[in-house]
């Protein structure tokens, strides 16, 4: 019985519940301050307490993961791992990591990210390498999985410099921090969630969600005349809600997922295995513009903890993304090919 491990944050409950439902062992690497939250849930077999998530790199955690029941635990990466560790640190982890750990570097680095999205022929907004060339409404984004915190909109170079200086002054972004600027894409936000199984050789569409971001959403509730021009709204994620796409959009969603997997095979072998997400907006013409991807499970799948509608269609039973991951691990372990799903 293989053990599934993850960090105590983001989508840990869903991942470990899914593992337990598939009959696997469960282990949580948990910051002490969050212990009481996770002790409430009976499906977590073992909690390894740490002062900071960065301690997952230390020998004590490594030996817990190595010595898990059923052989070395498989660590399921999520947004908190990407946000808290550098790509080098993630690649140095001794235990098997579900999916392809090298993909996490391509998620974290905006330049690599753009390269892979272009290779996958995803329709991207134009990037603006030199902010003084901003001519149209654009968004400045931080590197890595910042969760939208510190992002801001600017319509000119001067606007960019003023807002950036204000955020540095407030300590939201660091002096000299490298920001990525991209033209703002208008439309309906959609986060498209997929799973690629190297065992079955198939890309599955799991579902879609929308993110709710503060305080950009709050802005829409204030009449334009009363909006304070001196205020720079952020895009800090607070939660997610389900989104059902028009069925006529599904075919293209599958194609984008498949192109992404094929492109990742060429650039980051063995490519994108396991869950991933393509993030963007649908414009008025029904065309998708992709501004981002996540190369691991996204927190938006938490809305389908009891199973996504599309997985009910595929599997005939409620299957969450956490459970889908566990099923892949179980099938690979039974075939003696765990390294095909955790690299």
Binding site for ligand AMP (CB under 6 A): 125, 139, 141, 148, 151, 182, 184-185, 189, 211, 213, 235, 279, 291-292
Closest approach, Cβ 82 to ligand AMP, in A, equals 11
- The nearer residue to ligand AMP, 37 or 219, going by C-beta atoms, is 219
- The nearer residue to ligand AMP, 55 or 114, going by C-beta atoms, is 114
Closest approach, Cβ 33 to ligand AMP, in A, equals 25
Closest approach, Cβ 329 to ligand AMP, in A, equals 27
Closest approach, Cβ 151 to ligand AMP, in A, equals 5
Closest approach, Cβ 126 to ligand AMP, in A, equals 9
- The nearer residue to ligand AMP, 292 or 328, going by C-beta atoms, is 292
- The nearer residue to ligand AMP, 2 or 302, going by C-beta atoms, is 302
Task: Return the closest-CA partner of residue 237 out of 146, 164, 139.
Answer: 146
- The nearer residue to ligand AMP, 152 or 206, going by C-beta atoms, is 152
Closest approach, Cβ 262 to ligand AMP, in A, equals 23
- The nearer residue to ligand AMP, 56 or 253, going by C-beta atoms, is 253
């Amino acid at each position: 019985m293989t053990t599934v491990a993850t960090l105590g944050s983001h989508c840990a409950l869903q991942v470990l519940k899914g593992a337990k439902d598939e009959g696997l062992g469960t282990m949580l690497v948990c910051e002490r301050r969050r212990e009481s939250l996770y002790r409430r849930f009976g499906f977590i077999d073992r909690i390894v307490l740490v002062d900071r998530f960065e301690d997952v790199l230390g020998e004590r955690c490594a030996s817990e993961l190595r010595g898990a029941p059923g052989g070395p635990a498989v660590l399921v990466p999520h947004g908190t791992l990407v946000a808290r560790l550098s790509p080098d640190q993630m690649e140095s982890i001794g235990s098997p990591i579900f999916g392809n750990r090298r993909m996490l570097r391509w998620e974290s680095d905006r330049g690599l990210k753009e390269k892979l999205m272009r290779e996958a022929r995803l329709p991207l907004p134009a990037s603006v390498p030199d902010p003084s060339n901003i001519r149209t409404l654009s968004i400045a984004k931080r590197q890595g999985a910042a969760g939208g915190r510190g992002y801001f909109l600017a319509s000119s170079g001067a606007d960019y410099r003023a807002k950036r200086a204000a955020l540095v002054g407030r300590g939201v972004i660091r002096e000299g921090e490298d920001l990525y600027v991209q033209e703002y894409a208008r439309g309906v936000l959609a986060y498209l969630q997929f799973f690629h199984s190297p065992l079955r050789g198939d890309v599955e569409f799991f579902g879609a969600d929308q993110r709710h971001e503060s305080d950009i959403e709050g802005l829409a509730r204030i009449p334009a005349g009363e909006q304070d021009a001196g205020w720079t709204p952020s895009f800090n994620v607070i939660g997610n809600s389900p989104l059902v796409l028009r069925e006529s959009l599904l075919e293209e969603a599958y194609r984008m997922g498949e192109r992404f997997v094929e492109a990742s095979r060429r650039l980051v072998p063995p490519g994108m295995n396991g869950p991933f997400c393509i993030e963007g907006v649908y414009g008025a013409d029904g065309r998708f513009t992709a501004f981002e991807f996540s190369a691991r499970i996204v927190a938006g799948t938490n809305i389908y903890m009891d199973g996504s509608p599309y997985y009910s269609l595929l599997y005939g039973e409620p299957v969450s993304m956490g459970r889908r991951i566990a099923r892949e691990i179980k099938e690979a372990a039974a075939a003696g090919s765990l390294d095909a799903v955790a690299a």
